[in-house]
Structure 1
């Protein structure tokens, strides 16, 4: 796993083979961040990475200058790996929460400019995530929600849907 661009550009982290999480491929990550650049000024943004997995998206957000990133990951081993990566780059502006995403969203009091969610593609309630994020108290006005999902999900009829991108088997739906 590597950081594509920004202040930590080129840094690599070896994800343990035992991990269940599938990090977003470098190809997909680079391309979706190129798209996001037209919607988001990352510098000074508050970002939320849900289902953080290996921390790949959190690290990319930090590298691109986000003022603060909150990473939520339920699996303790994955959270520990993310913490090690954050320590390697001396990041002090990431808050790592080892816990359930849905519990976090219920108790969250912060507004984020960017919310990125990369849930397991087989998550039963993946179709509920856009409404949960967009109608809750999570996304700032004019904020952007990015949902990574499998090819079997289609969110184009959602009233706040703005764009879909596909990179191989990786799909992203963007909402505002």
Structure 2
């Protein structure tokens, strides 16, 4: 098991609670802080039993591997940086997370060609990029009717038509929120 340090993040709940995940030192790779993850998984429910999850900018794997620990049926981790993608594969294998799939690809290009649908999609692109505004409409097409999209960003993007920000928070310069489709009951 990894020792707590600069390039580690701890799984905070579920089957692999307290396990440390190590990740490579890469520019721009910043795991979602424990406090934010705890809030997000409180919003989603403590377990994700039977849900299909996509972590489109997986990075350290903090969000996607947390979802796997909390019972997600399938977790797809998409990561562009080859060292980070390999680290994610190694972490999933070492922990015996057989429901985790890792693909080394550009998230925008991958989602453009994706035909799968998901219950939860995590979008936490590189902080200073314009990727969130570009990928959000694509993600909205891949979410099941009662699903949601988690976003993490420096400033709020334009929310796609038919969607609303249901929950939100801020930790320092990071804004985070949960989007759901607008329904008659909303």
**What TM-score, normalized to structure 1?**
0.88
1:11 to 19, 23, 29: 19
Q: RCO greater where, 1 or 2, for CA within 8 Å and sep 6 or more?
A: 1
CA offset digits 1:86-140 (Å, max 9, x no partner): 1110111111110011111111111100001110121224223332211x2x111
Change (3 A) 1:112 1:156: closer
CA offset digits 1:151-176 (Å, max 9, x no partner): x3255696412232223333212211
Unpaired runs of 5+ residues, structure 1, are: none
* 1:139 aligned partner: 143
* 2:3 aligned partner: none
**What TM-score, normalized to structure 2?**
0.84
* 2:135 aligned partner: 129
Unpaired runs of 5+ residues, structure 2, are: 1-8, 181-186
Q: State the shift of 1:35 in Å.
A: 1.8
Tell me the C-alpha RMSD between the 2 structures: 1.9
* 2:183 aligned partner: none
Note the 1:147-158 alignment, pairs <5 A.
Answer: 147-150=151-154, 152-155=155-158
Change (3 A) 1:18 1:113: closer
Say yes or no: does 1:160 pair with 2:168.
no
Say yes or no: does 1:93 pair with 2:96.
no
